[in-house]
A and B are shown apart, each in its own frame.
Chain A
């Protein structure tokens, strides 16, 4: 019993170590040649452009539902005019970064795990190495950069669309004046909200790609293993995103709003 627990802990620690080493090697590879810019651009396209639809839809409906939900509460205090502020701060601080990250993890992180996983089980990774190419440099580093760059971009988009969604409901269902909504929404935003709104997706972008690549590259057990890695990448990334979000909030509360 204790032995099993000990082994479990040992395995987790070994995995954590391998995970950290993968991240470190990927970043370290950026400081020497060869660098794979073309692959990096391709990944940016695949992550960024490829996720536009789901990120836009998610943002839109989140903003709309926020307005509907919060208007009931705000009306109780006769504060319906604050609905814009409610939507913009919720989107910027929490829902934009977290929901975007969760959606992208489901679409992109799982895709990376599946792609790299099938390259492992069909020996394409071995083939790469035997042909003198470092798979971390060629496959992981470009994805890492693309994830870290594109997640903030997608999150900003999601936030903007969310505020528009909120506005549509406020204007046409709640009959709020256009200027009232936008004044309240935009005036509420302080520099530290922007900071928090950009730091989070940066970290989440790293988590999604690192977990997807790690799960893919450690795939064993043939085609079935690829399926497991894919599922596992979404589960692990989601849990990490939500828990990291909590700790980032603590940090920001401590250092930015003392």
Chain B
């Protein structure tokens, strides 16, 4: 029984046509049931790490294990069972714009599980209920706001009950309130479904919200609480990436105490991040 959801060992990666390494000597682990937060400026290689986890691209050297399986050399067909255990929320949602919201959310169910129509509708409605978009069953993705698209994307990622969900900047470009509802969803999946999460972001506020909150279900309602004392937080690791290199790994309290220059700059809000127009909900 593996205890690590993800393990990177000395991973190097270069995009075809690029001169320089995009990732150099990246090593980290994500324990089962924990949350890893990957921070870094735009272009530092955060999305590249998630693509490697999914096996969408292959490392140049190094070893990547997902759920205890070495995926570095696997063929596309052998990767399919690995991907069945992973959900991915892409940077801009990456919803299929030729399909309705329901068909997006139930895409994997349609493709892989032979469900009858009624069962399909039930499952999809339940998933849309979880992200509070029940009314949008028949909508086209193009008729949704930015925040709603991200929520549909979350519902699609969790449809097959994966043990690991990867979030690529799920709150970027959203206003703070909408961003906060996405963070609540991530917390809900982690605390109520036991999902291991990797959260890529450059928004410290959102990262801290996810790491510091916890949720319980009480009489059918969700009660959110926040731990303000960072000394008590031990479940989540922060990884800071600068130009393809890991410059920091540790808990939130260690992040605050770090004197690594890039980490300091990042905490002071001096790292330029990708500029995307804010979209409301």
Contacts and interface: CB of A to CB of B under 8 A. Distances in A.
A123 B48 CA distance: 13
Given A126-B51, A126-B56, A127-B88, A132 B111 contact: yes
A131 B94 CA distance: 12
Interface centre among A128, A133, A134 (most CB of B within 10 A): A133
B94 A129 contact: no
Contact of B54 (A34, A130, A133): A130
A130 B83 contact: yes
Given A132-B111, A132-B112, A124 B92 contact: no
Nearest to B108: A131
A127 B90 contact: yes
B96 interface: yes
Interface residues of B, number: 21
B56 A130 contact: yes
Given A123-B94, A124-B94, A124-B96, A129 B54 contact: yes
A258 to B, nearest CB: 46
Contact of B91 (A123, A131, A133, A134): A123
B84 interface: yes
Interface residues on A, range: 10 to 19
A122 B108 contact: no
Contacts of B156: 131
B80 interface: yes
Nearest to A129: B56
A134 B94 contact: no
A207 B177 CA distance: 50
Contacts of B80: 132
Nearest to A131: B108
B242 to A, nearest CB: 24
Contact of A130 (B86, B92, B111): B86
Contacts of A127: 88, 90, 94-96
B76 interface: yes
Contacts of A124: 94-97
B214 interface: no
Contacts of A133: 107, 111
B76 A130 contact: no
Nearest to A138: B111
Contacts of A128: 96
Closest 5 CB pairs of A and B: A123-B94, A127-B94, A130-B88, A123-B90, A131-B108
Interface of B: 51, 54, 56, 76, 80, 83-84, 86, 88, 90-92, 94-97, 107-108, 111-112, 156
